[in-house]
Copies of this chain bind each other. A is one copy, B any other.
Amino acid sequence: MYIVGISIYVKEEFREAFIKETLENAKNTRQEPLNLRFDVLQSRDDPNKFFLYEVYKNESGMAAHKETAHYKKWRENVAPMMAKPREGIKYTNLFPETEEAFEAK
């Protein structure tokens, strides 16, 4: 699996707009053939802090995602909402091991 975890801090005045844009992007991404999950999380201690947990079948899936219209729209629309640059970290899975275990039903 090719997994990306993205930490995002938004300016408070853009919080709800960020959520709207990100939910739309997440739902569209789940329609991509190589995407397995796209969890949108909000910190319980700081409502302006978010975490995106994106799982693709392979690196090509991540690359294909970045070429989609919904990703490009999201990236452009949320750019001015960031309180600081977002941080993405790429991972591989040690556990679990199957695509089925990662796929959001």
Where the two chains meet, the residues of A that have a C-beta atom closer than 8 Å to any C-beta of B are 3, 5, 19, 22-23, 26-27, 37-45, 49, 51, 53, 89-96, 98, 100-105
Contact = CB atoms under 8 A, between A and B. Distances in A.
B95 A105 contact: no
A96 B51 contact: no
Copies of this chain: 2
Contacts of A19: 94
B26 A95 contact: yes
A100 B91 CA distance: 23
A104 B101 contact: yes
B104 A96 contact: yes
Given A102-B104, A104-B102, A105-B101, A23 B95 contact: yes
A105 to B, nearest CB: 5
A81 to B, nearest CB: 15
